[in-house]
Amino acid sequence: MGLESWLKEVEVRAREGLSRPSPFGVDVDISSFLEVKEGSPRLDEAKVKEVGVDLSAKTLYMQIDQMYYRYISRIPGVEIMRIEDFAETYPEEAKEYLWKLVDPGKDKYTALAALKGRGGYFIRVKKGVKVEEPIMACLFMSIGGLQAPHNVVIVEKGAEATVYTGCTIAPEALGLHVGISEFYVEENAVLRFVMVHSWNRVSHVRPRTGVYVKQSGKYISYYVNLAKVKTLQTYPIVHLSDNAYAYLASIVLSFEDAYIDVGSAANLDGENASVEIVSRSLARDTSNIVARASITAKQGRGHIDCRGLMLSNRASIKTIPELQALTPNAILTHEASIGRLAEDEINYLISKGFEKEEAVAILLRGFVNVEIKGLPQKVKEYIETIERLTVEKSM
Protein backbone atom coordinates (compact mmCIF):
# COMPACT_ATOMS: atom_id res chain seq x y z
CA MET A 1 0.00 0.00 0.00
CA GLY A 2 1.37 3.40 -0.99
CA LEU A 3 0.92 6.67 0.89
CA GLU A 4 -2.07 7.68 -1.21
CA SER A 5 -3.97 4.48 -0.42
CA TRP A 6 -3.02 4.77 3.24
CA LEU A 7 -4.30 8.32 3.46
CA LYS A 8 -7.53 7.22 1.78
CA GLU A 9 -7.94 4.59 4.48
CA VAL A 10 -7.19 7.26 7.10
CA GLU A 11 -9.97 9.37 5.60
CA VAL A 12 -12.44 6.48 5.72
CA ARG A 13 -11.62 5.80 9.37
CA ALA A 14 -11.84 9.50 10.17
CA ARG A 15 -15.31 9.78 8.64
CA GLU A 16 -16.40 6.87 10.82
CA GLY A 17 -15.05 8.66 13.88
CA LEU A 18 -16.59 12.08 13.20
CA SER A 19 -19.56 11.54 15.48
CA ARG A 20 -17.65 9.60 18.16
CA PRO A 21 -17.23 11.58 21.40
CA SER A 22 -14.08 11.22 23.45
CA PRO A 23 -14.49 8.96 26.50
CA PHE A 24 -12.95 11.75 28.59
CA GLY A 25 -13.55 15.45 28.99
CA VAL A 26 -16.39 17.74 28.00
CA ASP A 27 -17.98 16.99 24.63
CA VAL A 28 -17.54 19.89 22.19
CA ASP A 29 -19.87 20.50 19.27
CA ILE A 30 -17.41 20.49 16.37
CA SER A 31 -19.89 21.45 13.63
CA SER A 32 -18.86 25.09 13.66
CA PHE A 33 -15.21 24.09 13.20
CA LEU A 34 -15.80 22.07 10.02
CA GLU A 35 -15.74 25.16 7.81
CA VAL A 36 -12.52 27.05 7.17
CA LYS A 37 -12.52 30.34 9.01
CA GLU A 38 -11.51 33.32 6.90
CA GLY A 39 -9.19 36.05 8.12
CA SER A 40 -5.63 37.32 7.98
CA PRO A 41 -3.21 35.51 10.24
CA ARG A 42 -1.23 37.79 12.54
CA LEU A 43 1.51 36.88 14.96
CA ASP A 44 1.32 38.28 18.48
CA GLU A 45 4.93 38.13 19.59
CA ALA A 46 4.08 39.00 23.19
CA LYS A 47 1.79 35.95 23.45
CA VAL A 48 4.44 33.77 21.87
CA LYS A 49 7.00 35.01 24.39
CA GLU A 50 4.59 34.13 27.18
CA VAL A 51 4.84 30.45 26.27
CA GLY A 52 8.63 30.68 26.14
CA VAL A 53 9.16 30.24 22.41
CA ASP A 54 12.36 31.81 21.13
CA LEU A 55 11.62 32.95 17.58
CA SER A 56 15.34 33.41 16.92
CA ALA A 57 16.10 29.74 17.69
CA LYS A 58 18.47 27.91 15.34
CA THR A 59 15.76 25.41 14.53
CA LEU A 60 12.22 26.68 14.41
CA TYR A 61 8.81 25.73 13.12
CA MET A 62 6.08 28.32 13.22
CA GLN A 63 2.47 28.00 12.25
CA ILE A 64 -0.23 30.62 12.52
CA ASP A 65 -3.78 29.30 12.29
CA GLN A 66 -3.90 26.90 9.32
CA MET A 67 -2.54 29.44 6.88
CA TYR A 68 0.96 30.64 7.60
CA TYR A 69 3.99 28.41 7.99
CA ARG A 70 7.70 29.06 8.40
CA TYR A 71 10.47 26.65 9.25
CA ILE A 72 14.21 26.62 9.35
CA SER A 73 16.96 24.36 10.67
CA ARG A 74 20.45 25.73 11.19
CA ILE A 75 21.58 22.69 13.16
CA PRO A 76 23.34 20.00 11.13
CA GLY A 77 21.63 16.65 11.48
CA VAL A 78 18.25 18.15 12.31
CA GLU A 79 15.67 18.14 9.57
CA ILE A 80 12.51 20.18 9.94
CA MET A 81 9.62 20.77 7.56
CA ARG A 82 5.88 21.14 7.31
CA ILE A 83 4.09 17.79 7.48
CA GLU A 84 2.70 18.15 3.94
CA ASP A 85 6.24 18.70 2.67
CA PHE A 86 7.36 15.60 4.52
CA ALA A 87 4.64 13.55 2.84
CA GLU A 88 5.63 14.94 -0.53
CA THR A 89 9.39 14.54 -0.05
CA TYR A 90 9.38 11.15 1.66
CA PRO A 91 6.11 9.41 0.72
CA GLU A 92 7.41 5.96 1.60
CA GLU A 93 8.43 7.05 5.09
CA ALA A 94 5.32 9.13 5.57
CA LYS A 95 3.25 6.02 5.00
CA GLU A 96 5.14 4.34 7.86
CA TYR A 97 4.86 7.22 10.32
CA LEU A 98 1.61 9.11 9.71
CA TRP A 99 -1.43 8.00 11.72
CA LYS A 100 0.35 4.94 13.08
CA LEU A 101 0.38 5.89 16.77
CA VAL A 102 -2.86 7.89 16.79
CA ASP A 103 -5.99 6.33 15.30
CA PRO A 104 -7.75 8.86 13.02
CA GLY A 105 -11.11 7.33 13.92
CA LYS A 106 -10.51 7.31 17.67
CA ASP A 107 -12.83 10.22 18.33
CA LYS A 108 -14.37 13.25 16.64
CA TYR A 109 -11.27 15.36 17.29
CA THR A 110 -8.77 12.98 15.65
CA ALA A 111 -11.30 12.64 12.84
CA LEU A 112 -11.59 16.40 12.45
CA ALA A 113 -7.80 16.72 12.41
CA ALA A 114 -7.47 13.98 9.79
CA LEU A 115 -10.09 15.57 7.54
CA LYS A 116 -9.53 19.28 8.07
CA GLY A 117 -6.11 19.64 9.67
CA ARG A 118 -3.28 21.55 7.98
CA GLY A 119 0.37 21.85 8.80
CA GLY A 120 2.28 20.61 11.80
CA TYR A 121 5.95 19.85 11.97
CA PHE A 122 8.09 16.96 10.84
CA ILE A 123 11.33 16.85 12.79
CA ARG A 124 14.02 14.27 12.29
CA VAL A 125 17.16 14.15 14.42
CA LYS A 126 19.60 12.00 12.53
CA LYS A 127 21.39 8.97 13.89
CA GLY A 128 23.83 9.79 16.69
CA VAL A 129 23.24 13.57 16.55
CA LYS A 130 22.99 15.13 19.99
CA VAL A 131 21.38 18.55 20.16
CA GLU A 132 21.52 20.55 23.39
CA GLU A 133 19.63 23.60 22.21
CA PRO A 134 15.87 23.09 22.09
CA ILE A 135 14.23 22.73 18.69
CA MET A 136 11.45 25.32 18.88
CA ALA A 137 7.94 25.09 17.57
CA CYS A 138 5.24 27.72 17.84
CA LEU A 139 1.60 27.03 17.10
CA PHE A 140 -0.34 30.26 17.25
CA MET A 141 -4.03 30.83 16.63
CA SER A 142 -4.83 34.40 15.65
CA ILE A 143 -8.30 34.25 14.10
CA GLY A 144 -9.77 31.26 15.89
CA GLY A 145 -11.64 28.46 14.16
CA LEU A 146 -9.82 25.16 13.82
CA GLN A 147 -6.13 24.60 14.14
CA ALA A 148 -5.21 20.94 13.75
CA PRO A 149 -1.53 20.46 13.00
CA HIS A 150 -0.06 16.99 12.63
CA ASN A 151 3.39 16.66 14.20
CA VAL A 152 5.84 13.82 13.65
CA VAL A 153 9.17 13.61 15.43
CA ILE A 154 11.71 10.91 14.72
CA VAL A 155 14.81 10.70 16.88
CA GLU A 156 17.02 8.17 15.21
CA LYS A 157 19.29 5.62 16.90
CA GLY A 158 21.55 7.12 19.55
CA ALA A 159 20.41 10.69 18.84
CA GLU A 160 19.29 13.14 21.50
CA ALA A 161 17.14 16.26 21.28
CA THR A 162 14.64 18.51 22.99
CA VAL A 163 11.54 19.71 21.17
CA TYR A 164 9.93 22.75 22.78
CA THR A 165 6.43 23.56 21.61
CA GLY A 166 4.51 26.61 22.70
CA CYS A 167 0.83 26.80 21.78
CA THR A 168 -1.17 29.94 22.28
CA ILE A 169 -4.04 32.02 20.95
CA ALA A 170 -5.11 35.62 20.56
CA PRO A 171 -7.40 36.89 23.33
CA GLU A 172 -11.11 36.22 22.72
CA ALA A 173 -10.50 34.22 19.50
CA LEU A 174 -12.87 31.26 19.60
CA GLY A 175 -10.74 28.32 18.60
CA LEU A 176 -10.46 24.56 18.68
CA HIS A 177 -6.92 23.26 18.73
CA VAL A 178 -6.38 19.59 17.97
CA GLY A 179 -2.67 18.83 17.69
CA ILE A 180 -1.92 15.31 16.50
CA SER A 181 1.55 14.25 17.61
CA GLU A 182 3.34 11.02 16.77
CA PHE A 183 6.80 10.63 18.23
CA TYR A 184 9.25 7.86 17.41
CA VAL A 185 12.24 7.42 19.69
CA GLU A 186 14.60 4.86 18.24
CA GLU A 187 17.11 2.56 19.98
CA ASN A 188 19.26 4.38 22.59
CA ALA A 189 17.81 7.72 21.53
CA VAL A 190 16.50 10.45 23.84
CA LEU A 191 13.61 12.79 23.15
CA ARG A 192 12.69 15.50 25.62
CA PHE A 193 9.41 17.12 24.78
CA VAL A 194 8.35 20.33 26.48
CA MET A 195 4.91 21.68 25.69
CA VAL A 196 3.55 24.92 27.10
CA HIS A 197 -0.07 25.89 26.60
CA SER A 198 -1.54 29.33 27.13
CA TRP A 199 -5.06 29.61 25.71
CA ASN A 200 -7.97 31.96 26.34
CA ARG A 201 -11.24 31.67 28.23
CA VAL A 202 -13.27 30.57 25.19
CA SER A 203 -10.92 28.06 23.55
CA HIS A 204 -11.22 24.28 23.39
CA VAL A 205 -8.11 22.15 23.24
CA ARG A 206 -7.83 18.45 22.35
CA PRO A 207 -4.25 17.33 21.66
CA ARG A 208 -3.84 13.68 20.69
CA THR A 209 -0.42 12.11 21.17
CA GLY A 210 1.16 8.70 20.66
CA VAL A 211 4.78 7.88 21.45
CA TYR A 212 6.77 4.79 20.60
CA VAL A 213 10.07 4.32 22.42
CA LYS A 214 12.28 1.54 21.09
CA GLN A 215 14.88 -0.48 23.03
CA SER A 216 16.85 1.54 25.60
CA GLY A 217 15.31 4.78 24.35
CA LYS A 218 14.20 7.58 26.66
CA TYR A 219 11.23 9.87 26.39
CA ILE A 220 10.86 12.76 28.80
CA SER A 221 7.78 14.88 28.56
CA TYR A 222 7.00 18.09 30.44
CA TYR A 223 3.59 19.60 29.84
CA VAL A 224 2.28 22.81 31.35
CA ASN A 225 -1.02 24.63 31.05
CA LEU A 226 -0.48 28.18 32.19
CA ALA A 227 -3.57 30.16 31.38
CA LYS A 228 -7.30 30.25 30.94
CA VAL A 229 -9.05 27.74 28.70
CA LYS A 230 -12.67 26.73 28.33
CA THR A 231 -12.10 22.99 28.01
CA LEU A 232 -8.94 20.96 27.59
CA GLN A 233 -8.58 17.22 27.32
CA THR A 234 -5.57 15.18 26.43
CA TYR A 235 -4.33 11.70 27.20
CA PRO A 236 -1.01 10.86 25.50
CA ILE A 237 -0.12 7.18 25.27
CA VAL A 238 3.49 6.03 25.44
CA HIS A 239 4.61 2.55 24.38
CA LEU A 240 7.87 1.37 25.88
CA SER A 241 10.05 -1.45 24.52
CA ASP A 242 12.86 -3.36 26.29
CA ASN A 243 14.85 -1.17 28.73
CA ALA A 244 13.04 1.95 27.54
CA TYR A 245 12.24 4.70 30.02
CA ALA A 246 9.68 7.47 30.12
CA TYR A 247 9.12 10.38 32.50
CA LEU A 248 5.78 12.09 31.94
CA ALA A 249 5.10 15.26 33.90
CA SER A 250 1.98 17.43 33.66
CA ILE A 251 1.65 20.72 35.50
CA VAL A 252 -1.86 22.02 35.11
CA LEU A 253 -3.12 25.34 36.36
CA SER A 254 -6.82 26.06 35.88
CA PHE A 255 -8.82 29.28 36.09
CA GLU A 256 -12.42 30.49 36.10
CA ASP A 257 -14.86 27.81 34.93
CA ALA A 258 -12.36 25.75 32.93
CA TYR A 259 -12.88 22.02 32.63
CA ILE A 260 -9.55 20.27 32.24
CA ASP A 261 -9.06 16.53 31.89
CA VAL A 262 -5.39 15.71 31.47
CA GLY A 263 -3.55 12.45 31.81
CA SER A 264 -0.80 10.20 30.59
CA ALA A 265 -0.83 6.51 29.88
CA ALA A 266 2.12 4.19 29.51
CA ASN A 267 2.26 0.65 28.19
CA LEU A 268 5.28 -1.22 29.40
CA ASP A 269 5.59 -3.82 26.68
CA GLY A 270 9.29 -4.63 26.93
CA GLU A 271 11.55 -6.22 29.49
CA ASN A 272 12.87 -3.81 32.15
CA ALA A 273 10.91 -0.90 30.75
CA SER A 274 10.09 1.78 33.30
CA VAL A 275 7.95 4.86 33.62
CA GLU A 276 7.25 7.64 36.07
CA ILE A 277 4.06 9.65 35.67
CA VAL A 278 3.94 12.85 37.68
CA SER A 279 1.08 15.29 37.80
CA ARG A 280 0.62 18.55 39.66
CA SER A 281 -2.79 20.18 39.46
CA LEU A 282 -3.54 23.67 40.76
CA ALA A 283 -7.19 24.67 40.66
CA ARG A 284 -8.38 28.25 41.03
CA ASP A 285 -11.81 29.92 40.95
CA THR A 286 -14.59 27.47 39.97
CA SER A 287 -12.44 25.33 37.71
CA ASN A 288 -12.37 21.56 37.50
CA ILE A 289 -9.35 19.37 36.92
CA VAL A 290 -9.33 15.65 36.35
CA ALA A 291 -5.78 14.27 36.49
CA ARG A 292 -5.49 10.80 35.02
CA ALA A 293 -2.55 8.44 34.94
CA SER A 294 -2.45 4.89 33.79
CA ILE A 295 0.24 2.25 33.57
CA THR A 296 -0.28 -1.14 31.96
CA ALA A 297 2.68 -3.45 32.31
CA LYS A 298 3.75 -6.88 31.22
CA GLN A 299 7.05 -6.34 32.96
CA GLY A 300 9.18 -3.57 34.40
CA ARG A 301 8.46 -0.82 36.88
CA GLY A 302 6.05 2.05 36.97
CA HIS A 303 5.20 4.76 39.45
CA ILE A 304 2.46 7.39 39.51
CA ASP A 305 2.71 10.52 41.66
CA CYS A 306 -0.41 12.73 41.48
CA ARG A 307 -0.80 15.80 43.63
CA GLY A 308 -3.50 18.40 43.62
CA LEU A 309 -3.52 21.83 45.20
CA MET A 310 -6.83 23.53 45.86
CA LEU A 311 -6.40 27.28 45.47
CA SER A 312 -10.09 28.04 45.83
CA ASN A 313 -13.06 26.88 47.91
CA ARG A 314 -15.16 26.41 44.78
CA ALA A 315 -12.77 24.50 42.52
CA SER A 316 -12.52 20.75 42.17
CA ILE A 317 -9.67 18.31 41.56
CA LYS A 318 -10.04 14.62 40.95
CA THR A 319 -7.11 12.26 40.47
CA ILE A 320 -7.57 8.90 38.78
CA PRO A 321 -4.45 6.76 38.96
CA GLU A 322 -4.72 3.32 37.36
CA LEU A 323 -2.26 0.46 37.54
CA GLN A 324 -2.62 -2.76 35.62
CA ALA A 325 -0.15 -5.63 35.85
CA LEU A 326 -0.43 -8.30 33.20
CA THR A 327 2.15 -10.64 34.72
CA PRO A 328 3.77 -11.01 38.15
CA ASN A 329 6.91 -9.41 36.70
CA ALA A 330 5.46 -5.91 36.84
CA ILE A 331 6.11 -3.71 39.87
CA LEU A 332 3.69 -0.79 39.96
CA THR A 333 3.08 1.84 42.63
CA HIS A 334 1.19 5.08 43.03
CA GLU A 335 0.79 7.93 45.48
CA ALA A 336 -1.80 10.66 45.32
CA SER A 337 -2.85 13.58 47.48
CA ILE A 338 -5.06 16.64 47.24
CA GLY A 339 -5.22 19.51 49.68
CA ARG A 340 -4.45 23.14 50.32
CA LEU A 341 -1.13 24.73 51.20
CA ALA A 342 -0.32 23.58 54.73
CA GLU A 343 -0.69 26.33 57.31
CA ASP A 344 2.26 25.02 59.35
CA GLU A 345 4.53 25.23 56.30
CA ILE A 346 3.46 28.83 55.65
CA ASN A 347 4.03 29.68 59.33
CA TYR A 348 7.39 27.96 59.28
CA LEU A 349 8.54 30.18 56.43
CA ILE A 350 7.12 33.30 58.09
CA SER A 351 9.11 32.38 61.20
CA LYS A 352 12.18 32.43 58.93
CA GLY A 353 11.52 36.03 57.98
CA PHE A 354 9.44 35.70 54.82
CA GLU A 355 6.25 37.66 54.32
CA LYS A 356 3.14 35.55 53.85
CA GLU A 357 3.06 36.17 50.11
CA GLU A 358 6.70 35.16 49.79
CA ALA A 359 6.08 32.02 51.84
CA VAL A 360 3.17 31.03 49.59
CA ALA A 361 5.30 31.65 46.48
CA ILE A 362 8.09 29.44 47.84
CA LEU A 363 5.64 26.63 48.58
CA LEU A 364 3.92 26.97 45.20
CA ARG A 365 7.29 26.87 43.46
CA GLY A 366 8.07 23.72 45.40
CA PHE A 367 4.72 22.21 44.45
CA VAL A 368 5.21 22.72 40.72
CA ASN A 369 8.86 21.70 40.81
CA VAL A 370 9.31 18.17 39.54
CA GLU A 371 12.65 16.47 39.51
CA ILE A 372 13.71 15.63 35.98
CA LYS A 373 17.17 14.17 35.94
CA GLY A 374 19.76 14.76 33.25
CA LEU A 375 18.28 17.85 31.57
CA PRO A 376 20.67 20.03 29.57
CA GLN A 377 21.30 23.41 31.23
CA LYS A 378 19.39 25.34 28.55
CA VAL A 379 16.28 23.18 29.00
CA LYS A 380 16.57 23.53 32.78
CA GLU A 381 16.53 27.30 32.37
CA TYR A 382 13.40 27.15 30.23
CA ILE A 383 11.67 24.96 32.80
CA GLU A 384 12.69 27.29 35.64
CA THR A 385 11.13 30.18 33.73
CA ILE A 386 7.94 28.17 33.25
CA GLU A 387 7.88 27.33 36.98
CA ARG A 388 8.23 31.00 37.91
CA LEU A 389 5.41 31.92 35.52
CA THR A 390 3.18 29.17 36.90
CA VAL A 391 3.72 30.47 40.45
CA GLU A 392 2.98 34.06 39.41
CA LYS A 393 -0.24 32.98 37.74
CA SER A 394 -1.27 30.78 40.67
CA MET A 395 -1.23 33.69 43.10
Partner 1 sequence: MLDRVSIAVGEKIVLRDIDLRIDKNEVLFLLGPNGAGKSTLLRALIGYPGHLIVSGKIYFEGEDVTELPMEARVAKGLAFAHQIPPKLLGVRVKQLLEALCRKNICDVYEIANEIGVLHLLDREFGKGFSGGELKRIEVATLMAQKPKLPLIDEPDSGVDVDSIEVIARAIKKLIDLSPYRSAILVTHSALISRYIEPTKVCILMSGTIKVCDGKDLIDEVFRHGFRELA
In SS3 terms, 164-187 reads as EEEEEECCCCCEEECCEEEEEECC
Residue 395 near partner 1 by CB under 8 A:
no
Q: How many residues bind partner 1 (CB under 8 A)?
A: 23
CB of 384 to partner 1, least distance (A): 11
Phi first, then psi: what are they for 54, rounded to 5°?
Answer: -100, 105
Binding mask 342-361 for partner 1 (x = CB under 8 A): xxxx-xx-xxxxxxx-x---
Q: Report the residue number, 5 or 333, with the smaller CB distance to partner 1.
A: 333
Separation between Cα atoms, residue 339 and residue 283, nearest integer Å: 11
Q: Are strands 175-177 and 245-254 parallel, antiparallel or unpaired?
A: unpaired
Cα angle for residues 54, 223, 87 (degrees, 5° grid): 70
Q: Report the residue number, 4 or 355, with the smaller CB distance to partner 1.
A: 355
Q: Quick check: 312 and 282 in contact, CB under 8 A?
A: no
Q: Are strands 208-213 and 180-185 parallel, antiparallel or unpaired?
A: parallel
Q: Which residues of 246-277 are buried (b: 16+ CB within 10 A; e: fewer)?
A: bbbbbbbbbbeebbbbbbbbbbbbbebbbbbb
- Out of 277, 360, 368, 389, point to the residue binding partner 1 (CB under 8 A): 368
Q: Report the residue number, 112 or 368, with the smaller CB distance to partner 1.
A: 368
CB of 371 to partner 1, least distance (A): 8
Sort 312 into a burial class: Cβ within 10 Å, 0-12 / 13-18 / 19+.
middle
CB of 64 to partner 1, least distance (A): 36
Region binding partner 1 by CB under 8 A among candidate stretches 16-24, 154-162, 168-176, 366-374: 366-374
Q: Which of residues 260-279 bind partner 1 (CB under 8 A)?
A: none
Region binding partner 1 by CB under 8 A among candidate stretches 18-26, 174-182, 227-235, 368-376: 368-376
Q: Quick check: 37 and 143 in contact, CB under 8 A?
A: yes
How many C-beta neighbours within 10 Å does residue 378 have?
Answer: 13
CB of 351 to partner 1, least distance (A): 5
Binding mask 66-105 for partner 1 (x = CB under 8 A): ----------------------------------------
Binding mask 280-319 for partner 1 (x = CB under 8 A): ---------------------------x------------
Residue 339 near partner 1 by CB under 8 A:
no
Q: Report the residue number, 4 or 358, with the smaller CB distance to partner 1.
A: 358
Q: How far is CA 195 from CA 137, 248, 250, 300, in A?
A: 9, 11, 9, 27
Residue 366 near partner 1 by CB under 8 A:
yes
CB of 366 to partner 1, least distance (A): 3
- DSSP tally for the chain: helices H, then strands E: 8, 23
Q: Report the residue number, 49 or 356, with the smaller CB distance to partner 1.
A: 356
Q: Quick check: 193 and 219 in contact, CB under 8 A?
A: yes
Q: Report the residue number, 39 or 348, with the smaller CB distance to partner 1.
A: 348
Separation between Cα atoms, residue 181 and residue 121, nearest integer Å: 9
Chain residues in the site for partner 1 (CB under 8 A): 307, 342-345, 347-348, 350-356, 358, 362-363, 365-370
